[in-house]
Amino acid sequence: MIAPIIALGAVALAVLAVVNALVFLRPSRSGDGDNDASVSILIPARNEEQRINLCLAYASAQSALVKEILVYDDQSSDATAGIVEAWEKIDRRIRLIRGDTLPAGWHGKPHACYRLAENATGTWLLFIDADVRLRSGAVERLLATAAHHSCTLLSAWPAIAMKSLAETLLMPMLNFYVFTLFPSPLQLVSNAPRYALAHGACLLCHRDTYWAIGGHSTVRNELFEDTALARHWRASGQRALCCDGQQICTVRMYSGVREIWRGFEKNFYPGFRRKWLFVFVMAIHVAVFTVPFIGLLVSPTLPFAVAASSVLVARGALALRFRQPVWPSVMHPIAELFLIALGISSFLRWHSRRGVEWKGRLYRSSTVEKGAR
């Protein structure tokens, strides 16, 4: 009785994944937006000496629509500031902002973004992470998409660069995790906060609207600040959308198993607004995305075969849409077990005294001691 239910759930979620793969919002062509606009590229950076140089190189190559490129050095202990200072001599638009002490009640990235916005003078604010590589014409395409869809906040879901075997095996699970559950077509027909989606690696917003709704101060203690900001944006009556950003930017989020684990562990559980929702989603990943493969090994049945095949179809469709290798799909059970273990670890650490650590700062669920990302 359980196997047919699992199969039905797998088919339904595979259909959603295929629909997302087909219709996820594509960016508009450049030239269709407000070419009189000015853009401030804003980069929060903490210990990013390995990434900031290329990030600035690609940002500096953007068009004259970019009025300034501001980097907030969030008390880095490496050569981040020195690299930015060298770039200040190459491109006059680049300016280093020295970070100050983190105020109580704030996490690091929201505070860095807020401080950057305070110093920005462009009509549009483009927040990007230090590991982002903007593609040629990225700013024009973002502005055109925002204009075409009349939104004041637009996030670009980036292409994910994967160099190691571990990244190639595990990182596609991010897209699988999101686009087997998020109904992307509904973000276009409903402005409800529950249909908000954003990727903090690339986030464009209108400056006046940003300040009107409070900007990053509204998500000051969020580790999952990107989607939280998009939800608040929608709750304030403003339109927020997320588009396919493969032609806009590329990001190598994490390298190696250890960094992938630590990077996602810090914000896996905090990404859920309710504990029951976390339990529900984890139950789906166990019952629908894992059990069928175990069932095929232990007691092969048609329902388990249908369910497992549906999962592989979903993986394949998303891999093709996001231009990722298809072969890791056949290794799905291994990646899925990693995801489940990661979710459980995130939950346990957030509910323990240990908390989670990232870039030398510690977070706990009960207190906000120090925050950053």
| pLDDT tens profile 175-217 | 999 999 999 999 999 999 999 999 999 999 999 999 999 999 9
Using CA atoms, how far residue 37 sits from 65, 135, 254, in Å, is 7, 19, 33
For the domain made up of 24-161+182-253, the CATH class stated in words is alpha beta
Output the pTM of the full model: 0.92
How much is the pLDDT for 359? 67
Task: Outline where 89-206 has alpha helix (H).
Answer: 108-119, 138-148, 165-170, 172-179, 186-189
Instruction: At 255, list the tokens.
Output: 């390298």
pLDDT of the residue at 1:
75
Q: Measured between alpha carbons, how far is 254 from 251 in angstroms, rounded to an integer? A: 9
Q: How many CA atoms are closer than 13 Å to the CA of 162, on its beta-carbon side?
A: 20
Kindly state the average pLDDT of the residues 325-332. 96
For residue 31, the 8-state DSSP code is: T
Confidence at residue 31, expressed as pLDDT on a 0 to 100 scale: 64
Of the listed ranges 67-71, 91-95, 262-266, 313-317, the least confidently predicted one is 262-266
Strand-strand pairing, 124-128 and 202-206: antiparallel
How far, in Å, are 43, 104, 129, 290, 299 from residue 202 at the CA level? 10, 26, 7, 32, 46
Distance, CA of 278 to CA of 348 (rounded, Å): 12
Q: Decide the pairing of beta strands 361-363 and 356-358.
A: antiparallel
Beta strands in 74-225 (DSSP E): 94-98, 124-128, 132-134, 153-160, 202-206
Q: What is the pLDDT of residues 128-187, one digit of tens each?
A: 999 999 999 999 999 999 999 999 999 999 999 999 999 999 999 999 999 999 999 999
DSSP element (H, E) containing 200? none
Positions of CATH 3.90.550.10 in the chain: 24-161+182-253
* pLDDT confidence band for 256 (50 / 70 / 90): confident
Q: What is the pLDDT, as a whole number, of residue 370?
A: 37
**Burial of 301 (C-beta count, 10 Å sphere; 0-12/13-18/19+):** middle
Can you read off the two tokens belonging to residue 144?
Answer: 């055109």
Q: Are strands 66-73 and 94-98 parallel, antiparallel or unpaired?
A: parallel
Task: Kindly report the length of the chain.
Answer: 373
